[in-house]
Structure 1
Amino acid sequence: MSSQISLLFLAIVLVFLNGFFVAAEFGLVKLRQTRVRAIAKAHGFRGRILAKVHSNLDAYLSACQLGITLASLGLGWVGEPAFARLLEPVFSALGVEREKLIHGISFFVAFFIISYLHIVVGELAPKSMAIRRAEIVGLWTAAPLYGFYWAMYPAIWALNTSANWILKLVRLDATVSHDTHYSADELKLILRGSEESDQFTNEEWRVLAQALDFRELDVADLMRPVSEMVALHATDGVEKNLDRMVQTRYSRYPYIGKDGKVMGVLHLKDVFFALNKGEAGSNLDALVRPAQLVSPSMSAMELFRRFREGAPHFAVVTYQDGEPLGFVTLDNLLSAQVGEIRDEFRHTQNEWTRLDDGSLIGKGSLPIFTLERALGVDIDQDDVDTVGGLLMWRLGDLPKEGDRITFDEFDVVVKRMKGPRIVMVRVYPRLANAA
């Protein structure tokens, strides 16, 4: 009788041992490397052991698999006989007389009990616990798993080596990379899931998603057309240029020389300082700072880096021959990252205004990416940069006021033209897309 109780106790121990290795395995897989570093700093010895185990994930997952296999084999070896012998007297007392029948029924019931305990206590419960409480499980299982790994190192090494040889025979790379790099779209899906679980507000999700999109933008996507550029001209004289600065109230102005080319950028602070000192003279040429001339194909991230490093926060976008094409300010870059920014003088370029019927109204000079963002669609067209350019590309000609241009996910109506320029448009999303 004592031997049966010992076998029964051993079977229960093996069930929990199986559960330990299952919990350790799922806990390690669930933990992120960045979180493990924080745990290592906050939890002393146990945290450092967990970090060491997690840094060699392949090896310790192999240790978990070995532990699960040994526990399962041991459970099958001692568990069923232990429960079967314990159940045989019960069935004899119930009136079952044939010895073979008693043995068969006892074995079947014992198999069911062991399977139930193995699946529920040894697999499902520890797996769910590890997924829900990965940090706690990781801290409690790391040290024992570390000891088991080194105690069984020869066996683990032999098994891993054998597995790698098999992979080589079938021409597969034995090196496993636990690559946790995500694309921008994958990160946005992760962030959207965080928003749905109330970890981020909708506004916070939008800012993060726009920051991820920013890396894909070029200067051409963000620039405002040269027709909207308020410039100062050397030929106008100081008084006329000062009047223009007072009327428009910008902080930086491109300065056009007598040859019609951009000489540089004039900063409002420099002008005020010179006026205060009586040094403005008959022209403003001496106050001009070097202009930052950029290509429309330059990445927005590169221009942002230049702005951060101290370059003038006003860049002139030029063709290869130096002719101005448009301009970009720091406000334009920040608006692309966090959304439209309005200052007290309302200088920031307005984007799309959503009307009561769900349609959008905006300028034809707006970059295409702003329409993509407003509608939540992807417009596959790399040859043009503005909404007006998109419409002319679609028609193959200049549109007229009132023209309706149809796309797969929206329609655009031209509301106002000014010569060859599309000044104002109204966008009607498809119902399915608008929903």
Structure 2
Amino acid sequence: MLVLAIFLVFLNGFFVLSEFAIVKVRKSRLEELVKQGKSGASLALKMSNSLDTYLSATQLGITFSSLALGWIGEPALAKLIEPPFTYFFGDNSVLLHTVSFIIAFTLITFLHVVLGEIVPKSVAIAKAEIMSLYIARPLHIFWIVFYPFIRFFDIVAGFVVRRLGIQPATAHELAHSEEEIRIIVNESFKGGYIDSVESEIIKNAIDFSETVAKEIMTPRKDMICINSEKSFEENLERIISTRFTRYPYCHGGKDNITGMIHTRDLLNDALDGKKIDISKFVRPIIMVPENTSISKILTRMNKSRIHIALVIDEYGGTSGLLTMDDILEEIIGETTDEHDPKQETIKKIDENTYEFDGMVNIEKVEEILNITFDETELSVTIGGRIFHLIGRLPIVGDIVEDKECTYKILELQNNRIKKILCTKKIEEDANEETRV
């Protein structure tokens, strides 16, 4: 009987190990092991795909072995302990049985908790992949033998839960929300499994579909166009001075853009010494509303093989320009080539003070300073927000504040706010401002 009790402890441990192993193991990793032909991988993957019913099997096994251990183990161990204690308690059988039972119960509980619960759980969590392969076949056999009982218990449990007004959840529904993914990424970064670049790319990818054209476009004011009303030499001078690959092509003003020019087309004819008529090289340009998701624009760019889009406002006028590079930078971060001037868009001065380029996105400022602007905020960039706070044409040295920060204008470019010094208000300052 004592041997049977020890067997039941380890049987309980097997089911506990099985439960944690099949929950912890990654399905993607099992799929790789199946391709490699690892023994037990195919069955382990089947369990992972039918997690609910196999978890019910482990619960049945744990319950069965625990009840059997209490029924068999304690009396068996108590009977083994009684003889040595007769020396102390003599013929007092009641006291002898009581002490023997308490000691047997304590030892069985200790073995059950340590060897039957904690150790197998720790092993399963640490070695989920290997353990899931080892337990696959015996657990599957147990599931086949007791399937009628497992199915019956599942049906009854589901019925009770539904009577309580709760829709039963399936254990295999392991989808994560965006916030949960961010937490997982942060924990993976802290644990050293991914580096800072990978962490940033994943976070950017999560936000990708929520970003719209207006938030990342080059605004109309900063657009550089090839103008049909100017001579080839004037347009060429503009191309040489700005060094972009693609330019919007307009007739007179920026509200009359009919296409785009690729400088490679002009270069081919220029090298051949031909007289160049720029209008012959006009290519189609994509036109999108301001609030179009950049994920949809990227798909459209790939299908049409046109890597530049004109952003249109609600009145049908030109709002800005968007390129494929702008979109990709939302995922991989800002990129530069050998022709781009070196610019620092964000510069940390101290823990609460940063120097921002006026074109830095509002959400980026919120993330860096760990603040949240008013939900009614309509500005896309930090420069736009400060412009609205001032309420007039800004001048260098202007200082303005809101409940979160104090802002000082450091540089202007044609009335546009180019550089800002932003100082986050510490909690004491905010409280003092509230008291005043």
TM-score (normalised: structure 1): 0.90
CA positional deviation for 1:403:
2.9
Q: Paired residue for 1:149? A: 143
Indicate whether 1:217 and 2:211 are aligned: yes
Could you say what secondary structure the match of 1:413 adopts? strand
Q: Paired residue for 2:431? A: none
Gaps of 5+ in 2: 428-436
Q: What is the aligned counterpart of 1:85 among 69, 74, 79?
A: 79
Q: Which letter does structure 2 place at the counterpart of 1:92?
A: T
Q: Which letter does structure 2 place at the counterpart of 1:113?
A: L
Could you say what secondary structure the match of 1:182 adopts? coil
Q: Is the 8 A contact 2:9 2:65 kept in 1?
A: yes
Indicate whether 1:27 and 2:21 are aligned: yes
Q: What is the aligned counterpart of 1:172 among 166, 171, 178?
A: 166
Q: State the alpha-carbon separation in 2 of the partners of residues 297 and 181 from structure 1.
A: 28
Q: State the alpha-carbon separation in 2 of the partners of residues 390 and 292 from structure 1.
A: 29
Indicate whether 1:425 and 2:429 are aligned: no
The CA deviation string for residues 342-374 of structure 1, in whole angstroms up to 9 with x for no partner, is 211116875223346763333324432343344
Could you say what secondary structure the match of 1:35 adopts? helix
Q: Is the 8 A contact 2:353 2:424 kept in 1?
A: yes
Q: From the superposition, tell whether residues 419 and 323 of structure 1 become closer, same or farther in structure 2 (CA, over 3 Å).
A: same
Could you say what secondary structure the match of 1:309 adopts? helix
Indicate whether 1:125 and 2:122 are aligned: no
Q: Which letter does structure 2 place at the counterpart of 1:368?
A: I
Q: State the alpha-carbon separation in 2 of the partners of residues 241 and 126 from structure 1.
A: 75
Q: What is the aligned counterpart of 2:40 among 38, 42, 46?
A: 46
Could you say what secondary structure the match of 2:182 adopts? helix
Indicate whether 1:66 and 2:82 are aligned: no
The CA deviation string for residues 318-358 of structure 1, in whole angstroms up to 9 with x for no partner, is 22443221112222222222222121111687522334676
Q: State the alpha-carbon separation in 2 of the partners of residues 271 and 111 from structure 1.
A: 91
CA positional deviation for 1:98:
2.0
Q: State the alpha-carbon separation in 2 of the partners of residues 357 and 19 from structure 1.
A: 51
Q: What is the aligned counterpart of 2:220 among 223, 226, 236?
A: 226
Could you say what secondary structure the match of 2:310 adopts? strand
Q: State the alpha-carbon separation in 2 of the partners of residues 221 and 179 from structure 1.
A: 34
Could you say what secondary structure the match of 2:419 adopts? strand
Q: Paired residue for 1:4? A: none
Q: Paired residue for 1:402? A: 397
Q: Is the 8 A contact 1:224 1:366 kept in 2?
A: no
CA positional deviation for 1:381:
4.5
Indicate whether 1:270 and 2:268 are aligned: no
Number of corresponding residues: 426
Q: Which letter does structure 1 place at the counterpart of 2:382?
A: V
Indicate whether 1:191 and 2:185 are aligned: yes
Q: State the alpha-carbon separation in 2 of the partners of residues 152 and 85 from structure 1.
A: 33
The CA deviation string for residues 395-422 of structure 1, in whole angstroms up to 9 with x for no partner, is 4555444332323443221223456533
Q: Paired residue for 1:293? A: 287
The CA deviation string for residues 150-179 of structure 1, in whole angstroms up to 9 with x for no partner, is 101121122222222222332332452632
CA positional deviation for 1:200:
1.4
RMSD value over aligned CA atoms? 2.5
CA positional deviation for 1:125:
1.1
Q: From the superposition, tell whether residues 313 and 384 of structure 1 become closer, same or farther in structure 2 (CA, over 3 Å).
A: same
Could you say what secondary structure the match of 1:130 adopts? helix
Q: Is the 8 A contact 2:204 2:332 kept in 1?
A: yes
Could you say what secondary structure the match of 1:158 adopts? helix
Q: Which letter does structure 1 place at the counterpart of 2:271?
A: N
Q: Paired residue for 1:389? A: 384
Q: State the alpha-carbon separation in 2 of the partners of residues 207 and 174 from structure 1.
A: 36
Q: Paired residue for 1:363? A: 357
Q: State the alpha-carbon separation in 2 of the partners of residues 401 and 259 from structure 1.
A: 30
CA positional deviation for 1:23:
0.8
Identity of aligned residues (%): 32
The CA deviation string for residues 56-94 of structure 1, in whole angstroms up to 9 with x for no partner, is 111111111111111111111111111111111111245
Q: From the superposition, tell whether residues 350 and 309 of structure 1 become closer, same or farther in structure 2 (CA, over 3 Å).
A: farther
Q: What is the aligned counterpart of 2:96 among 95, 102, 124?
A: 102
Q: From the superposition, tell whether residues 366 and 175 of structure 1 become closer, same or farther in structure 2 (CA, over 3 Å).
A: closer
Q: State the alpha-carbon separation in 1 of the partners of residues 383 and 87 from structure 2.
A: 92
Q: State the alpha-carbon separation in 1 of the partners of residues 360 and 74 from structure 2.
A: 74
Q: From the superposition, tell whether residues 280 and 324 of structure 1 become closer, same or farther in structure 2 (CA, over 3 Å).
A: farther
Q: State the alpha-carbon separation in 2 of the partners of residues 114 and 177 from structure 1.
A: 32
Q: State the alpha-carbon separation in 2 of the partners of residues 236 and 300 from structure 1.
A: 33
Q: Is the 8 A contact 2:51 2:171 kept in 1?
A: no
Q: Paired residue for 2:433? A: none
Q: Is the 8 A contact 1:221 1:368 kept in 2?
A: no
Q: From the superposition, tell whether residues 410 and 185 of structure 1 become closer, same or farther in structure 2 (CA, over 3 Å).
A: farther
Could you say what secondary structure the match of 2:305 adopts? coil
Q: From the superposition, tell whether residues 306 and 136 of structure 1 become closer, same or farther in structure 2 (CA, over 3 Å).
A: same
CA positional deviation for 1:290:
1.1
Indicate whether 1:240 and 2:243 are aligned: no
Q: Is the 8 A contact 1:362 1:424 kept in 2?
A: yes
Q: Which letter does structure 1 place at the counterpart of 2:416?
A: R
Could you say what secondary structure the match of 2:194 adopts? coil
Q: Is the 8 A contact 1:40 1:50 kept in 2?
A: no
CA positional deviation for 1:377:
4.0
Q: Is the 8 A contact 1:41 1:48 kept in 2?
A: no
Q: From the superposition, tell whether residues 216 and 377 of structure 1 become closer, same or farther in structure 2 (CA, over 3 Å).
A: farther
Q: State the alpha-carbon separation in 1 of the partners of residues 234 and 414 from structure 2.
A: 28
TM-score (normalised: structure 2): 0.90
Q: From the superposition, tell whether residues 171 and 376 of structure 1 become closer, same or farther in structure 2 (CA, over 3 Å).
A: closer
Could you say what secondary structure the match of 2:328 adopts? helix
Q: State the alpha-carbon separation in 2 of the partners of residues 365 and 95 from structure 1.
A: 88
Gaps of 5+ in 1: 1-6
